[in-house]
């Protein structure tokens, strides 16, 4: 296929990255404007849900998929960490466990009070409802829980965290429940199925089309440069919406010359706009996981459940609660994960504790001009000066141990294998956390949303990059602070909200 056949010379709007947010942006724009839209996805586009071309691991919601990965890595505790991000249409909604978690009212009200009108919980709730309908979310009933998940829920209740009916009640600060899922049968309903399939005739989707940089002329966006084999192809556009995620979006801006001018100059990128916040404010939710051996009884119960239902997801239940350091809302999750691993052909069982409101902040930086050059991703986990992130994880680990010792779980779980019974006391647990903490796969904040008066802000409340007309960002990177929980649904809402702003501007124009 010729380059001319793959790419138009110019369009009205280009959406860069058709992941969770990008699909929402594109779907809403296509339904509300006659503009000529082009969607560029760095990974493959397997077509609509019924195309028959989708790989089974991207459809199978019983476990997280690891294929189609960008290969991002970083370091923590002297270890190499993989920061899995999906390089495929639908983005991480094609990979994840399908958890639909809203967070806390204080998350969104905090964004609004920081100078971002239109982002309060009350204003966003209609968009949550829209995303819920499009992603075909359903509630998981208690009788659907695997024996392990049911026992963990009962044990969490016995430990003092109440069972709740609606895990997404924004006013509740403590509770345990099965989380709602965007899963039909055993199929993951990704954002491409939800937002793109119904309007595919309204735009052009091009897969395997990674964007290297945005073209900027005289303070206004002019299009993008997309990688095609060994060459770059320029496509004109009067508006570009970058939806590359917390790692990809700042990288695209930086390669475009938008970011800290001194850092860009040092690696040979000509600065177009000195915007110090690009790539800063990166954060993710650190976790500690306690692993256990399971008893023969637990394996037998799980095998029986699999035979009877044909359904054995690894994750179904989450608990939320405030730590001793929480001043409003809640800041901790406990999440049990367990079942049979197809990769290792073994049973595995663990309970994790996640610090949902981390204070530590890191960065995304470039090492070179090309899309092929490695990104320097450093979340700086557990680096907050007061040590609160570490202390909250230690409290979470202690809480997990209490849960594991309740009668509901004690008969099903045997020996604690990690960190093991020899690691006792707050100081020993904190030392363990310093080299064994893991992440929650919820990176955010690297293109922070805020008013122009905020020196760290990259975009305004409509998602437009400060100082560049027609250039927008819409994904988890614009979160001033990550939401209290899983980010897939909030990211879909971000896509809906930015599209809503663009449509309002179109009508006014």
CB 85 within 8 A of CB 92: yes
CA distances from 439 to 75, 102, 194, 353, 354 (A): 12, 19, 27, 10, 8
Determine the Cα–Cα distance for residues 323 and 344; give it in Å rounded to an integer: 35
Residue 439 has a pLDDT of 96
pLDDT digits (tens, 9 = 90+) for 414-442: 999 999 999 999 999 999 999 999 999 99
Burial call 275-293: b when 16+ CB within 10 Å, e when fewer: bebbbbbbbbbbbbbbbbe
Given a cut of 60, is residue 503 above it in pLDDT?
A: yes
Task: Report the number of secondary-structure helices (H) and strands (E) in the chain.
Answer: 14, 22
- Non-local (6+) Cβ contacts of 79 within 8 A are 435
Burial zone of 241 (CB within 10 Å; 0-12 exposed, 13-18 middle, 19+ buried): buried
Average pLDDT over residues 6-19: 97
Confidence band (pLDDT; 50, 70, 90) for 197?
very high
Given a cut of 70, is residue 225 above it in pLDDT?
A: yes
Residue 1 has a pLDDT of 44
CB 475 within 8 A of CB 21: yes
Beta strands in 420-492 (DSSP E): 438-439, 471-473
Measured from the Cβ of residue 125, the count of other Cβ atoms closer than 10 Å reads: 15
Of 189, 249, 243, the C-alpha closest to 23 is 243
Residue 342 has a pLDDT of 85
Average pLDDT over residues 325-340: 97
Could you tell me how far CA 39 lies from the centroid of its own chain? Answer: 20
Residue 2 has a pLDDT of 46
Residue 506 has a pLDDT of 58
In the predicted model, what is the mean pLDDT of the chain? 96
Determine the Cα–Cα distance for residues 456 and 474; give it in Å rounded to an integer: 17
3-class state of residue 309 by DSSP: helix
Given a cut of 90, is residue 206 above it in pLDDT?
A: yes
CB 245 within 8 A of CB 17: yes
Which structure tokens are listed for 75?
């370091």
Determine the Cα–Cα distance for residues 95 and 203; give it in Å rounded to an integer: 25
Residue 508 has a pLDDT of 55
Confidence band (pLDDT; 50, 70, 90) for 117?
very high
Residue 77 has a pLDDT of 83
pLDDT digits (tens, 9 = 90+) for 449-498: 999 999 999 999 999 999 999 999 999 999 999 999 999 999 999 999 99
CB 177 within 8 A of CB 165: yes
CB 435 within 8 A of CB 78: yes
449 pairs with which residues across the strands? Answer: 459
Given a cut of 80, is residue 507 above it in pLDDT?
A: no
Beta strands in 92-219 (DSSP E): 175-178, 183-184, 187-188, 203-206, 211-217
CB 264 within 8 A of CB 270: yes
Average pLDDT over residues 247-274: 97
Given a cut of 50, is residue 20 above it in pLDDT?
A: yes
Measured from the Cβ of residue 198, the count of other Cβ atoms closer than 10 Å reads: 14
CA distances from 283 to 320, 384, 444, 460, 474 (A): 20, 11, 6, 20, 17
- Non-local (6+) Cβ contacts of 295 within 8 A are 411, 412, 413, 414
Residue 78 has a pLDDT of 85
Determine the Cα–Cα distance for residues 414 and 410; give it in Å rounded to an integer: 7
End-to-end Cα separation, the chain, in angstroms:
38
Average pLDDT over residues 223-228: 97
């Amino acid at each position: 296929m010729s380059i001319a056949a793959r790419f138009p010379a110019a369009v009205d709007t280009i959406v860069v990255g058709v992941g969770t947010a990008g699909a929402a942006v594109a779907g809403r724009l296509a339904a509300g404007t006659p503009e000529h839209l082009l969607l560029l996805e760095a990974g493959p586009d397997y077509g609509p849900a019924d195309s028959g071309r989708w790989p089974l691991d991207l459809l199978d919601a019983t476990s997280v998929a690891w294929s189609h990965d960008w290969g991002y890595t970083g370091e923590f505790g002297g270890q190499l960490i993989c920061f899995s991000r999906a390089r495929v249409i639908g983005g991480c909604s094609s990979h994840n466990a399908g958890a639909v978690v809203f967070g806390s009212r204080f998350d969104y009200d905090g964004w609004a009070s920081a100078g971002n009108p239109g982002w309060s919980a009350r204003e966003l709730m209609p968009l949550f409802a829209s995303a819920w309908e499009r992603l075909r979310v359903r509630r998981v009933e208690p009788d659907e829980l695997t024996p392990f998940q049911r026992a963990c829920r009962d044990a969490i209740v016995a430990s003092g965290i109440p069972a709740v009916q609606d895990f997404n009640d924004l006013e509740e600060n403590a509770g345990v429940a099965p989380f709602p899922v965007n899963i039909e049968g055993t199929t993951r309903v990704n954002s491409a199925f939800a937002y793109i399939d119904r309007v595919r005739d309204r735009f052009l989707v091009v897969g395997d089309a990674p964007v290297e940089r945005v073209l900027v002329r005289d303070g206004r966006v002019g299009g993008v440069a997309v990688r095609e084999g060994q060459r770059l192809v320029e496509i004109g556009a009067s508006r570009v919406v970058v939806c590359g995620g917390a790692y990809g979006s700042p990288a695209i801006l930086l390669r475009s010359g938008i970011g800290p001018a001194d850092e860009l100059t040092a690696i040979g990128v000509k600065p177009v706009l000195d915007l110090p916040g690009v790539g800063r404010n990166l954060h993710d939710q650190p976790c500690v996981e306690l692993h256990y051996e399971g008893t023969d009884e637990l394996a037998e119960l799980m095998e029986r459940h699999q035979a009877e239902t044909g359904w054995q997801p690894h994750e179904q239940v989450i608990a939320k609660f405030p730590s001793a350091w929480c001043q409003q809302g809640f800041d901790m999750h406990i999440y049990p994960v367990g079942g049979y691993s197809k990769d290792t052909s073994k049973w595995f069982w663990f309970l994790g504790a996640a610090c949902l409101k981390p204070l530590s902040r890191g960065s995304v930086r470039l090492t070179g001009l090309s899309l092929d050059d490695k990104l320097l991703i450093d979340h700086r986990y557990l680096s907050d000066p007061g040590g609160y992130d570490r202390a909250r994880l230690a409290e979470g680990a202690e809480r997990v141990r209490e849960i594991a010792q309740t009668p509901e779980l004690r008969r099903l779980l045997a020996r604690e294998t990690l960190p093991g019974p020899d690691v006792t006391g707050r100081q020993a647990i904190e030392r363990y956390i310093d080299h064994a903490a893991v992440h929650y796969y919820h990176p955010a904040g690297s293109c922070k949303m805020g008013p122009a008066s905020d020196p760290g802000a990259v975009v305004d409340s409509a998602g437009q990059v400060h100082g560049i007309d027609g250039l927008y960002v819409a994904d988890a990177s614009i979160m001033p602070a990550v939401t209290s929980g899983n980010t897939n649904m909030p990211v879909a809402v971000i896509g809906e909200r930015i599209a809503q702003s663009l449509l309002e501007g179109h009508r006014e124009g």
